[in-house]
Amino acid sequence: MNTKLETQKGKMFLAGRWVSREETIDVRNPQNGEKIASVAKASREDMRYAIELGQETFDSLGKWPVHQRIAVLKRVSQLLLENQEDFARTIALEGSKTINEARGEAKRAAQTLEIAAEEARRIQGETINFDQNEGSENRIGYYYYSPVGVVGAITPFNDPLNLVAHKVGPAIAAGNAIVIKPASSTPLSALKLAQIFSEAGLPDGMLSVITGSGGEVGDELVSHPYVKAVSFTGGTDTGKEIKEKTGTKQVSMELGSNSPVIVLADADLEDAVDSSVDGAFAAAGQNCIGVQRVYVEEAIYADYVEKFTAATNRLTTGDKLSEDTDMGPLITEGEAKRVEGLIEEAVSLGAEIATGGKRNGAFVEPTVLVNVSPEATIAKEEIFGPVVMLESVPDLKAAVKRANDVDYGLHAGIFTNNLNNAHYAIEHLNVGGVMVNDSSDYRIDAMPFGGTKQSGIGREGVKFAIELMTEKKVVNFKLNAPF
């Protein structure tokens, strides 16, 4: 199958059809600004039409059989693996990931869809003991999950394929139609995925990928009355704006973070360094669970800083398509300038640059900061770039207190060989996930994924996303004769 077709021709995928528009959006390689493709720039009317066709198709299918959903999802997973290299090249060209990182994302997306196929057969309700209530001895019944109808989803640039799979997979598994608005800077991976869904036999209308501005098509998507559930991954400020427009819809949001890692004196130091360096600089730090703050017990702090800095200096930054590159550019030069400004702000407040700190176009060197003021933005907010701060703490309790001292709570990591220390962190870290003897940057696609505070609402992960995209319906039989 040739997956290189329509995404190069200025089109979008509207309810099973490839359509063009007079206005287009250029997709550029952030490494050099080169135009690699164009896609249709949708209007509010396009989005409305996609949603209405989604509802129409959903209604026409009646109860779409589970075995057909499974067959489509399994076939898409297979096609994705068969075209893994082409998908990986697209991910790397339109986004920030290196070719090796992109291959990993393509493989994960196939796994996400395979999990969705498996979960489709497990969407099961339970019987209810109505006779627990006096006077209901002659009643029996159960509840089951029914699809909501049309799901709206908005995805970011940093995982342009797998995060789309995390929306589409659960929606299709549950029997819903879904309309996706991918990030305007990285729409090609989503369009390629739509293509193989079409090739796999997904009924026309059950999936649309609408490319356009968030202010126009995004607003229509989250506010349209036919859209019963909204799944959003992106920034906290945008998430708050969306929440104001969704009304009574079911909503799941995975938002920003400022993920901490704690390293205690009894930890495997080499492992803690290697895992945290990888967690800080993968995808050029544009990762919601990437390591941003590391709190190190003071007895090993100096050694940790030395080893962490040395490991960071071994990273190779450059051409994303080179097999030898460890880190590529940020998604735009504007984003790189924003990160550069945050580094400069931290330095102005007393921080020292242990390594890195320089910008060249859209590239920012992997940067390690020490002695960062608590008033610096990097200490409080999500930086979404290749910058990490290292801080000495006297003990575990102080580390946990510092880790919790932000308005986010997605993931945290702790390195320790003491079970009591691990459990203290698990109980007291106010986050959605604690990774023991790993950095915050660990996730599998079957686990519940989300956070506390401003890091989001609800949970992703296929099984848990299905809960958002379904309604529990109760059935009760009143029997005329007693048992």
Would you call 288 a catalytic residue per the annotation? yes
Q: Which of 246, 105, 94, 90 is nearest to 165 (CA)?
A: 105
CATH class for the region spanning 6-255+456-473: alpha beta
- The number of CA neighbours under 13 Å toward the Cβ of 302 is 1
Q: Which of 156, 161, 165 is nearest to 106 (CA)?
A: 161
- What are 37's strand-pairing partners? 27
Query: Could you tell me the pTM of the whole model?
Result: 0.94
Contact indicator for 439, 261 with CB cutoff of 8 Å: yes
Q: Give the C-alpha separation, 141 to 61, whole Å.
A: 26
For 407-429, letters b (16+ CB in 10 Å) and e give ebbbbbbbbbeeeebbebbeeeb
Contact indicator for 125, 205 with CB cutoff of 8 Å: no
Would you call 105 a catalytic residue per the annotation? no
Distances (CA, A) of 333 to 28, 289, 325, 368, 375: 12, 22, 19, 20, 26
CATH architecture for the domain at 259-444: 3-Layer(aba) Sandwich (3.40)
Complete DSSP assignment for 379-436: HHS---SSEEEEEEESSHHHHHHHHHSSSEESEEEEE-S-HHHHHHHHHH--SSEEEE
Q: What is the largest CA-CA distance in the chain?
A: 81
Contact indicator for 239, 456 with CB cutoff of 8 Å: yes
Catalytic residue among 6, 114, 220, 288: 288
pLDDT by 10s per residue, the chain, length 483: 444 444 447 899 999 999 999 999 999 999 999 999 999 999 999 999 999 999 999 999 988 999 999 999 999 999 999 999 999 999 999 999 999 999 999 999 999 999 999 999 999 999 999 999 999 999 999 999 999 999 999 999 999 999 999 999 999 999 999 999 999 999 999 999 999 999 999 999 999 999 998 888 999 999 999 999 999 999 999 999 999 999 899 999 999 999 999 999 999 999 999 999 999 999 999 999 999 999 999 999 999 999 999 999 999 999 999 999 999 999 999 999 999 999 999 999 999 999 999 999 999 999 999 999 999 999 999 999 999 999 999 999 999 999 999 999 999 999 999 999 999 999 999 999 999 999 999 999 999 999 999 999 999 999 999 999 999 999 999 998 765
Catalytic residue among 6, 105, 254, 467: 254
* Burial grade of 321 (CB within 10 A; 0-12, 13-18, 19 or more): middle
Query: What is the residue extent of each domain of the chain?
Result: 6-255+456-473, 259-444
Q: Which residues contact 194 (CB under 8 A, 6 or more apart)?
A: 13, 180, 207, 208, 209
Give the distance from CA 400 to its chain's centroid. 25
